[in-house]
Structure 1
Amino acid sequence: MAGGISIPGVTDKYKTNDLVEALMETERIPLKREQEQLEKYQSQQDAWRDVNQRMSSLRESVRSLYSFENPFSNKLTTSSDEAAVTADASRDADYGSFKIDVVQPATADRFLSGNVDKNMRVEAGLYTFKTGDKTVSFNWKGGKLSDFVTALNKRGTNIIKANIIGVTSKQRALLVESLKPGEENRLIFQDAALDFAKQIDMVTETTGEGAARLSSDVSSYKTPAPVDSGDAQNGMPAITKSGVTSDGSTITIPPRGGIEIPIPEEARKMPDGKIEFTIDASDTDDITDEINSGMTVQMESPGQIDYKGVTVINAQNETTLTIELTEPLVPVEDERFVFLKNSDGSEEQLPDSSIIKGDAGHTRIVIALNDHPDAVSIIIRNNNTGKTLAMSVPETYDAEKGVGFKPNHPIATASDAIIKYEGITITRPTNDIDDVIPDITLHLHEKTDKTATITVNPDKESAKDALITFVGMYNQVVAEMNILTSNKPEIVTELDYLTDDERDKAMEKLGMFQGDFTLTNGKSQLQRIVSSNYNYGHDADITMLNQIGISTNASGRSTGYNASQLRGYLEIDEKTLDSQLEQNLGQIKDLFGFDTDGDLIIDNGIGYLLDKQLSAWTQTGGIISTKNSALKSRIDSSNSKITKLQSQLDDKEAELKSKYSTMESTLNSLESQQTTISNWANSFNNNRK
């Protein structure tokens, strides 16, 4: 017998592995059969998904042909001077033409600075820019001009824009422009922005008619009359102007300070009078801590009296008293600073529209005096015990007459658009005018040299494109149905628009559902809908799709047998289609969707019926959903069978290997015994000799 060592399960001296594998191949036949069935189910599921995708696309196409947004109602506008004026027409606009003269388009402020050093720095401060009712305000920490421009543009999106222009290798100019045209959107510089604009020779401050600053002299102010707020605390200092200071541009109001600033008579008489100022609130030591500690506090102002133009001011009380508090004072926080005093002595709080809040406690106040005809003074009342108010000196101006400065190097200044329509001169603050001609929006670009004519026509091209898209998607659905229900290769090869990969995939699906009449019946339903007659009115001339050049033989290429044409694909006679779109656009619209019972809801037509038919296929719980649901159940069942069969095969293979391993071990043992006996016999014979 052969020598060497044979280890069962490691060496394969007796070819038992081959024997086991041969036996397992037979055992695997049910598993392979089930795996092939699973692949078939999965391929069918993918095929139904493709059908669903094709039908969904077709459904969207046909819905667009009869819905409210159908292309047959689109309007197309043309202008005889498109460089000066163009227009958009809504679906409800009337056909026809009209004449427009653009006297001037609306413009926005565009201000250029003088020449500045390219390395100039912009000082720190609060920079505020306004245009119309929009405000851009930010605290700048100081830095290069380029960084300042970046910061401004970041915050001024759709409101204001700045650019640096290279004048020479060492000098630059700054361009600041409003992005909103119209006189009501003038560009206004405030706070540090105004100082900066004057510094770089962009603007010059002017007095202007009615423009003026109110007095910054604290002695001209009064202490506001006390107001019973209902939550007064015993021992809390009264509001007083004592401690209020002014450096000529900023009025500082300490905790529990207040002032009453009279509004000049001339400001109240302005046609469009405005008062503007800013207030910055900052934290300070809370005075209640000092009061609660028992320290002395100064008595309030003794007041004054006015009589016949003579003012008598009482002397300050020289006595210093210690206020005995029954309960500790509670700090007060109040964001209501500004009030208006009326001629009858009553007070009113400013509306939210007059209060523009910024960052870090910054507030801008804009008072439209026309909204407060009885106002005679402004009251600033700092009820807070731990905040100091820094207030700019109020400025008054007539919004109709200017904003207190003029540009030194204007590229353009804000102005309203002026047009003439039907002999009427019309002004608007914008270049997009939608309230002059019904359902028409005018877009002004520049002045017209002569009267421009705007014409509104039907948009036949968009209607044609929509019909071509519909035919293409319809044919793709029919092609998919043909491929799945027939095993003829020419069905695929005649589709010359397919790529090589698409053609290979189509060949794999060829005849997949040949015995399934669902698709065959569905195709017949689609063909019936597109070939039927639709009589939507007694005066209807276009009642069939073939009348507008769309049919299964629209090209007229053959009068004999043509298998391709019998497969149900639609063709387009473009010449006929163009002619019918030109002459019968409204009737083509009705062909795809019309109302039969007068309830203003479309309930018939090619588009409506195709949509209804396709919905039965593609909707949740529809035909395709049901098919895929059934396939999913089969796939799940098949996966379970495969798992079970695989487990059985693993057990069977382990059993066979165990048995053959035992057999190998037995054979090895017998072979070993035989070798031992042979060796003993040989030794015995040798000894006898």
Structure 2
Amino acid sequence: MASSGLSIPGVTDKYGTNDLVESLMEVERIPLKREQATLETYQNQQSAWQEINRKMSSLRESVKSLYSFENPFNSKLTSSSDENAITADATRDADFGTIKIDVIHPASADRFMSGRIDNDTEVPQGRYTFTVGEKTVDFNWKGGKLSDFVTALNKRGGNTIKASLIGISSKKKALVIESLIPGADNRLQFKNDALTFAKSIEMIADVPVEKTEFSSSISEYKSAQTKDLKSQQGMPAISKDNVRIQDSTITVLPRGGVEIPIPESVQSDRTQQISFTFAEEDTADITEEINAGANGPNLPDAGGITFGGIFINNNPSDSTVQTPATQQKPVQLKPISDDRMLFVKTKDGIEFAVDLDEFEPDSETGLRTVKINMEDYEGAVAVVIRNSNTAKTLTLSVPQATNEADALGYAPLNPIATASDAEFKYEGITLTRSTNDIDDVIPNVTLHLHDATEKTATLKIEPDVDAAKEALITFVGQYNQVIAEMNILSQTKPDIINELEYLTDAEVEKANERLGMFQGDMSLTSGKSSLQRIVSGSYRYSEDATVTMLSQLGISSNASGGTGGYNASQLRGYLEINEKTLDSFLENNLSAIKDLFGYDSDGDLIIDNGIGYLLDKQLSAWVQTGGILSNKISSLTTRIDASNKKISQLETQLEQKEAELKNKYATMQGTLNSLESQQTSISNWANQGNNNR
């Protein structure tokens, strides 16, 4: 604390009181300086513990990644012989191997272009509605320039639709509107004023809808097969005899069923869509009548006469018809209720059920409009109506088929691309999907289709050796940093720092400040020994384990294999990597290396042993809340707070002491000045008296 000195206006410090006060205060400041030095020591120690805590935490995260679910030894890499046509992503659970794929064509989206339109064309006011599959873009347009309309559409289009303008000439341009969702079911459609405008700019035009009528002659239908979930003796078989056709309406009574043949022209055209109306109505259950008829006739009682007060019975009837009392009681039929009533039959005899719940009934008529896309049923030859129910009548219109594109009533005049599903071959089987990102064909693999392949493409799924190697190198580096920090803090040999050639000049300077800071701290010594014991241990994770020690991978304190005698650096516990040995093991032993870092030793499906697991457990004791380092840092925080408080008190006391000394010496100096003034006055008076004599 610097002294401000005595400040007395008009009076000089001729007695040296300022220096005297400063000398006295210097002695008084000794306790303060001692406490400040103690505080600095605490702060440096806390900083050192925080630094090793940071390095241990990084090492812990590194070792956890080596045995956790996200360990790099399960990572997969995929490659393609034709990346322009097909690529793939594989999850950690994907099987290694090769995949053969032929891309016939990827899925595409509708992209329509208008005719030539003037640059100053304006879009009329109105409601513009565009649909792509199940998504709709709908907005009210106030009218205005075409470029502003494009901006408005793109603002609302999101990931569904996009518009752009193409300059044809200096005075003409073309409008392009495209769907952003591929797939045959995701066709771009225009509604409301969007439909009118698209026609006006020759983007689309009206086309007649051609329909293919199915036969309405019952003679051309076959009876559907009986396929009750549980057969009952006496239950009528499914038959076309219970089917009626009148005025293009097919009525299927209980236990009725037919196979309606699909016209050959429709069978061969995958773009065709079969449609018809469908309704169902509850009726009287036919099993009641059947069960009643099965009981046989009821014969009247033979009767008798009364004579003389005596009743005499007639002889029983000698009819051969069994009465209810004498005949065997038949098994009663149980009602049948089955919601599976509509099927598509393929040429190989397989029937695919059609879920009627997908088609909502009309709110007024109650009729469902059923639509069956031929592209969804490879080799479809018939529509099967099977009414297995005993108390339900079905009504449907005679089916008809239309081309899906024609069904809209318009078609693009200048299609750049049209919506279609991806088509590709896998294992010789032709498959279709509505997207180019396909994750449901090969388990844990997602295919990405880009273009058609000229020849069969080969996809390879291989281990990500580079990721595993990088993770191991990171682990070794962070392990060595922790060991180095432990050596610096617990020992006083300068060579410990000189050996660390990777340190910068600034880091070397800081390391020298920490050298031997915690010499004699047994926690550091024992902690280092525990870490070394874990990384040098043997781990037999199975009876046929091939890799049981880290040194087998080329990672050890003497991995370089030097034989030059004493090496102090190796004795300090640092790990080295023999890259050639490591590369060799990584190539064919990834699974074994994974088990080396973490495995289940007691069969409870929980990892409880291995280098990574044990290091994680050891390091957790140091870095977790309430752990070794947390307690040391917390203890120093308490000491630092107490030291700061003590320093504050000492500074206050020194300020008071200095003020007190200054006040005393100022008073003393004032008194001396007064005495000196009096002495001068007396001397002057005496001298004056002598002169008068």
The TM-score with structure 2 as length reference comes to 0.71
1:77 positional shift = 1.8
- CA deviations 1:264-304 (Å, max 9, x no partner) are x99xx9967799xxxxxxxxxxxxxxxxxxxxxxxxxxxxx
Distance 2:616 2:567 in 1: 29
Match of 2:479 among 453, 471, 474: 474
Task: Identify the residue that residue 628 of structure 1 maps to in structure 2.
Answer: 633
- One-letter identity of the residue aligned with 2:21: V
Q: Indicate yes or no: 2:584 matched with 1:583.
A: no
- CA deviations 1:85-136 (Å, max 9, x no partner) are 1112222222222211100000111222333344444343333222122222
**Structure 2 CA distance for partners of 1:7 and 1:74, relative to 1, 3 Å:** closer
SS at match of 1:183: coil
Q: Indicate yes or no: 2:542 matched with 1:541.
A: no
Match of 1:566 among 571, 575, 582: 571
Q: Indicate yes or no: 2:510 matched with 1:498.
A: no
Q: Indicate yes or no: 2:139 matched with 1:150.
A: no
Distance 1:168 1:675 in 2: 115
1:9 positional shift = 10
Task: Identify the residue that residue 63 of structure 1 maps to in structure 2.
Answer: 64
- CA deviations 1:625-650 (Å, max 9, x no partner) are 11111111111111111111111111
SS at match of 1:447: coil
Task: Identify the residue that residue 668 of structure 2 maps to in structure 1.
Answer: 663
Q: Could you list the runs of 5+ residues in structure 1 that have no partner in the other structure?
A: 212-264, 276-340, 345-367, 379-396
SS at match of 1:657: helix
**Structure 2 CA distance for partners of 1:628 and 1:685, relative to 1, 3 Å:** same
Query: 2:405·2:411 contact (CA, 8 Å) conserved in 1?
Result: no
Distance 1:520 1:169 in 2: 83
Query: 1:343·1:374 contact (CA, 8 Å) conserved in 2?
Result: no
1:414 positional shift = 0.9
- One-letter identity of the residue aligned with 2:535: V
Q: Indicate yes or no: 2:55 matched with 1:16.
A: no
Task: Identify the residue that residue 232 of structure 1 maps to in structure 2.
Answer: none
Task: Identify the residue that residue 109 of structure 1 maps to in structure 2.
Answer: 110
Task: Please identify, of 604-613 and 575-584, the stretch whose mean Cα deviation from structure 2 is larger.
Answer: 575-584
**Structure 2 CA distance for partners of 1:208 and 1:51, relative to 1, 3 Å:** farther
Task: Identify the residue that residue 168 of structure 2 maps to in structure 1.
Answer: 167
- One-letter identity of the residue aligned with 1:184: D
Query: 2:207·2:406 contact (CA, 8 Å) conserved in 1?
Result: no
- CA deviations 1:168-197 (Å, max 9, x no partner) are 344433322221111111122223333333
Distance 1:6 1:38 in 2: 34
1:593 positional shift = 0.8
Task: Identify the residue that residue 370 of structure 1 maps to in structure 2.
Answer: 359
Task: Identify the residue that residue 84 of structure 1 maps to in structure 2.
Answer: 85
SS at match of 1:376: coil
Distance 2:658 2:149 in 1: 79
Distance 2:550 2:83 in 1: 38
Distance 1:150 1:483 in 2: 65
Q: Indicate yes or no: 2:527 matched with 1:522.
A: yes
SS at match of 2:359: helix
1:377 positional shift = 7.8
Match of 1:405 among 399, 407, 410: 410
SS at match of 1:184: coil
Match of 1:602 among 580, 600, 607: 607
SS at match of 1:107: coil
1:401 positional shift = 5.0
SS at match of 2:642: helix
Alignment of 1:320-399 (within 5 A): 370-372=359-361, 376=365
Query: 1:431·1:443 contact (CA, 8 Å) conserved in 2?
Result: yes
Query: 1:85·1:443 contact (CA, 8 Å) conserved in 2?
Result: yes
1:548 positional shift = 0.8
Percent identity, aligned pairs only, is: 65
SS at match of 2:108: coil
**Structure 2 CA distance for partners of 1:9 and 1:682, relative to 1, 3 Å:** closer
Query: Is the radius of gyration larger for structure 1 or structure 2?
Result: 2
Query: 1:553·1:571 contact (CA, 8 Å) conserved in 2?
Result: yes
Query: 1:8·1:661 contact (CA, 8 Å) conserved in 2?
Result: no
- One-letter identity of the residue aligned with 1:185: N
Task: Identify the residue that residue 297 of structure 1 maps to in structure 2.
Answer: none
Distance 2:12 2:150 in 1: 83
Distance 1:375 1:103 in 2: 45
1:154 positional shift = 2.7
Task: Identify the residue that residue 231 of structure 1 maps to in structure 2.
Answer: none
Task: Identify the residue that residue 329 of structure 2 maps to in structure 1.
Answer: none
SS at match of 1:150: helix
1:562 positional shift = 1.1
SS at match of 2:500: coil
SS at match of 1:603: coil
How large is the Cα RMSD of the aligned pairs? Answer: 3.1
1:497 positional shift = 2.0
Task: Identify the residue that residue 618 of structure 2 maps to in structure 1.
Answer: 613
Alignment of 1:169-568 (within 5 A): 169-209=170-210, 370-372=359-361, 376=365, 401-568=406-573
- One-letter identity of the residue aligned with 2:22: E
The TM-score with structure 1 as length reference comes to 0.71
- CA deviations 1:31-81 (Å, max 9, x no partner) are 111111111111211221211111111111111111111111122222221
1:684 positional shift = 3.6
Distance 1:660 1:155 in 2: 86
Query: 1:61·1:466 contact (CA, 8 Å) conserved in 2?
Result: yes
Distance 1:591 1:135 in 2: 55
- One-letter identity of the residue aligned with 2:532: Q
Distance 2:469 2:407 in 1: 55
- One-letter identity of the residue aligned with 2:205: T
Query: 1:485·1:516 contact (CA, 8 Å) conserved in 2?
Result: yes
Task: Please identify, of 168-177 and 63-72, the stretch whose mean Cα deviation from structure 2 is larger.
Answer: 168-177
Task: Identify the residue that residue 50 of structure 2 maps to in structure 1.
Answer: 49
1:10 positional shift = 7.6
Task: Identify the residue that residue 98 of structure 2 maps to in structure 1.
Answer: 97
Distance 2:493 2:551 in 1: 28
